[in-house]
Amino acid sequence: MEFFLRNKKEFEISVLTLLAIVLILTFFISVYIGRYTITPSQLIMAVAGKITNVDYTLPDTADTILFKVRLPRIIAAILIGANLATAGAAYQGMFKNPMVSPDILGASHGAGFGAAVAILLSSGTAGIQMSSLLFGLGAVLLSYTISKIVGHGDNATLTMVLTGMVVSTMFSAFISMTKYVADTDEKLPAITFWLMGSLASITRKDVLILLIPTVLGMIPLLLLRWKLNVLAFGDEEAQAMGVDTKKVRSIIIFSSTLLVASSVSISGMIGWIGLIVPHIARQFVGPNYKHLLFASMLVGGSFLLIVDDVARNAFSAEIPLGILTALLGAPFFLYLLLKERRKAKWN
């Protein structure tokens, strides 16, 4: 038994190492490909020049594209993909439902409404990001507060899910209202494009801003990942094992919401990642959250980075990320439903 557990642990660590290598390889491939090709030698010289402060006389175009456009976009894709996937995995564990996505409590639609209002008011990039973040957090706080008022006992989790659906629908209606009153020449196209999700306008400043909520949201989830395993047994069993379920659930909700809202405020609404990536990660490391959160983080970063590479290189005009993730996510969701049906049939 001890030999089996040791081998299983070594296998899971090896898988995580392999996923990290895949992410690193995807990173370098993403740097090279694009409408302006960055050669490996140019990349090495550019990075070495920044570190040693030596001028290697790179073309100005290559230096600008690499450090002001491509690298910020690549890093943002990794961070956003990791955030959404990790939040999705945490929500699925907390709600004990593999069909749960990180916007179940209204974070994405709340953030979308905040951005739409800011665009309507011509608030600028910083105003859009701040408004999106605050409304995303506010939507989840509203869902959580209402569920605490009307929910009780064993129905508390179900009440929270239903309340989140209501709040999401409400903010979706607010977004439609904002689009209805927007100027059709400028504001409406800007709101529509933002809602479809894109990393085309990412800057180094955006990446630095995103790093703060990413760290603040990731650390609590990683520290509490073993308690997600305990929550899967139910509240009574978890409390019998000494877990303060209310406190843990509140921390998970806040941390996951921070990851989702901050990501949406930078990239717009990119769906399906938080739903499908945790399932892909489970195929690699199993359901144990000790490794599942790390796997979701790595797979999520690689997944969105690959999708963004396709978005910016497949056609002459860039494809919004939300369209591509939906085209990939919807068939996968159907596959999950069919898989659950077959499992229920055999049981």
11 lies in some domain: no
Contact 260, 276 (CB under 8 A): no
56 lies in some domain: no
47 lies in some domain: no
59 lies in some domain: no
Return the pLDDT at 347.
Answer: 55
Return the pLDDT at 3.
Answer: 45
- How many independent structural domains does the chain possess? 1
292 lies in some domain: yes
User: For residue range 93-126, what is the model confidence (pLDDT) as tens digits?
Assistant: 888 888 888 888 999 999 999 999 999 998 888 8
pTM of the model: 0.91
User: CATH number for the domain including 99?
Assistant: 1.10.3470.10
Other residues' Cβ atoms within 10 Å of the Cβ of residue 280:
16
Q: What domain range is 325 assigned to?
A: 75-340
- DSSP states along 20-52: HHHHHHHHHHHHH-SSSPPPHHHHHHHHHHHHH
Q: What is the mean pLDDT of the segment spanning 221-227?
A: 90
91 lies in some domain: yes
265 lies in some domain: yes
